[in-house]
Structure 1
Amino acid sequence: MNKLELISTLKERANLTKNEAAEVIKIFFDSLSDSFIKGERIEIRGFCSFHIKKYKSYTGRNPKTSQKVIIPPKRLPFFKCGKELKERVDY
């Protein structure tokens, strides 16, 4: 399922216009992104949780030239599946 399919499903089930459904999805994803930027943990009970994992800087290697390269520190979001979702998928 992609974003457009999600908007169509919301439109049909909630009896919204396409623009209203698109705005709801935009608000949802913008809220998630804002929380990630702040470094907050996101939990949707029964479905999933996200947390930000921080990586320190380290020395890597360019595979083409074998030169050493400094990899800057970074933060990445991680998804953890909820118990109810696991049970629904693995029925």
Structure 2
Amino acid sequence: MLRSELVQMIKERHADFTTREAELIVTAFFDAIVRQLQADGRVELRGFGMFTTRAREARQARNPRTGEGVKVPAKRVTYFRPGKELRERLNADAPADVEYDDVLAA
């Protein structure tokens, strides 16, 4: 799913939202996740999963084309661990298309 498809889905499900308002909702959601991860935090979305960051040390790598050594700087990378409900729904025999209203009612 593309970001634009997510915006369109929100707009379709909530007719009172304009496209711009749906874009702002999606942007605010993703920005909040990024800010929390930048602060060395973790983001847990119950039933969906957990985003965390891990540090990777600097290392020496090789360019596969030339064999030349390349320095790879230290960095933080994002990890995602799926939640139990997501794993169960992915591996269930039930259809994947769950109605949005059913999720809100739960």
**TM-score, normalization by structure 1:** 0.90
Structure 2: which amino acid aligns with 1:64? R
Match of 1:46 in 2: 47
Match for 2:55: what amino acid?
A: K
Partner of 1:13: 13
Report the alpha carbon displacement of residue 57 of structure 1 after superposing the two structures with TM.
Answer: 0.8
Deviates more, 1:23-32 or 1:57-66: 57-66
What is the deviation of 1:65? 2.5
Q: Aligned-pair distance for 1:17? A: 1.5
User: What is the SS of the residue equivalent to 2:44?
Assistant: strand
Unaligned runs of 5+ in 2: 93-106
Rounded to whole Å, the distance in 2 between the matches of 1:77 and 1:90 is: 24
1:40 match: secondary structure = coil
2:49 pairs with 1:37:
no
Which has the larger share of strand?
A: 1
Q: Verify: 1:3 aligned to 2:3, yes or no.
A: yes
Secondary structure in 1 matching 2:55: strand
Residue equivalent to 1:56? 57
Provide the C-alpha distance between the structure 1 equivalents of 2:86 and 2:67, rounded to a whole number of angstroms. 44
What is the aligned residue count? 91
Instruction: Please give the alpha-carbon distance, in whole angstroms, between the structure 2 residues aligned to 1:89 and 1:43.
Output: 18
- Unaligned 5+ segments in structure 1 are none
Return the offset for 1:67. Answer: 2.3
SS at match of 2:77: strand
What is the SS of the residue equivalent to 1:77?
A: strand
Paired residue type of 1:73: A
Over aligned residues, Cα RMSD in angstroms? 1.2
Percent identity for Structure 1 against Structure 2: 36
TM-superposed CA distance for 1:49, in Å, is 0.6
